[in-house]
Structure 1
Amino acid sequence: MTAHAITIDAKSNSPILILKERGGERALPIWIGLLEATAIATEMEKIEFARPMTHDLALNLLAALGARITRIVVNDLRDNTYYALITLEKDGEVLEVDARPSDAVALALRAGAEIFVEEAVLAKSVPSREGTEASADSDKADKWLEILEGLDPEAFKYKM
């Protein structure tokens, strides 16, 4: 996946991180906090600060300890909450650390690590078009899918 864009939910004014499948059509919207959106957006835009911000500091600490982030995986969706694992490697040992997806993505972008989403999470998060009866809920789901599939990152630049 790639960190495709950050946009704002018009109803709640909450930032939404859009992860999009590389070479594919699927997208995963994750509602995140403002601070995490700022951390992701600044890295997406390659904005540098005079002093390290929190995610930069975390990456610096890992490097000082001889560890590196190799990948992150959004691995679960329970009760409308996404979960992620950060995979670290140190001296040939592989460690996995539980994280919020927004923090994991902010770190992955800084570390140049791959971003993955488990198939089960994608299946749970996107309403299926197959076997659904016509209803207001399925119409809303179809409209949301169309919006996500047609997002242009240039149209949704996060404003700081």
Structure 2
Amino acid sequence: MNFLQVKVHAITMDPDSNSPVLILKESQGERSLPIWIGLLEATAIATEMEKISFVRPMTHDLTVNLLEAVGVQVTRVAVTDLKDNTFYAVITLKNGDEEVEVDARPSDAIAIALRTGAQIFVSEEVMNSAVPQEPTTIYEEDVPKEKKKWAELLEELDPQSLKYKM
């Protein structure tokens, strides 16, 4: 499976569902991947992006603190699959010479990656299946409505409207 390195580009709100959308962007390219996430997870990502700290550790901070306390490193996170409109991810942990992959929601994996400096990847298959491609036909009605809607949203997106961006 081929993976592309990505970075957290922004967190914005979907105007239709009023849900937070995490936007990952290829490090060496122009494609973006939108992932609809929960409000709590968006808050966890945004607070790290803004370097906001709290007196007491939040859940993702606690997770990182626990891993550090036992000498385990987070080496990377990867969005690995998209099934039935649900994204899947893994967190790769290193303990000595042993590496283990742990199943995670992409939003949690990314919140942890931001706190640890771990690299973030998306499988090429997920990027290709989730991101609208240029239509290969001259008939616009042949382009799925969801792809047209997302392409229009990206074209009309005002960078100033992004709640958090990197």
TM-score, scaled to structure 2: 0.87
Query: Which of 48, 54, 59 pairs up with 1:43?
Result: 48
Residue 29 in structure 1 maps to residue 47 in structure 2:
no
**Structure 1 position 151, deviation (Å):** 5.3
Determine whether 1:12 maps to 2:25.
no
Cα deviation, 1:104-127, whole Å, max 9, x if unaligned, reads 000000000000000000111123
Task: Give 1:157 deviation, angstroms.
Answer: 1.9
**Equivalent of 1:155, from 141, 144, 161?**
161
Q: Say which is worse superposed, 145-154 or 119-128, in terms of deviation.
A: 145-154
TM-fit CA distance, 1:145: 2.6
How many residue pairs are counted as aligned between the two chains? 158
Secondary structure, aligned partner of 2:140: coil
Q: Which has the higher mean CA deviation after the structures are superposed, 142-151 or 123-132?
A: 142-151
Larger RCO of the pair (alpha carbons < 8 Å, separation 6+): 2
Please state whether the residue corresponding to 1:135 is helix, strand or coil.
Answer: helix
Q: Which runs of 5+ in 2 are unaligned?
A: 1-5
- For normalisation by structure 1, the TM-score amounts to 0.90
For residue 89 of structure 2, what is the aligned residue in structure 1?
84
AA matched with 1:24: G
Question: Out of 94, 97, 101, which is 2:102 matched to?
Answer: 97
Structure 1 residue ranges (4+ consecutive) displaced by more than 6 angstroms after TM superposition: none
Deviates more, 1:138-147 or 1:123-132: 138-147
CA contact (8 A) 1:2 1:22 kept: yes
Aligned partners of 2:71, 2:155: CA distance in 1, in Å?
A: 39
Give the unaligned 5+ runs of structure 1: none
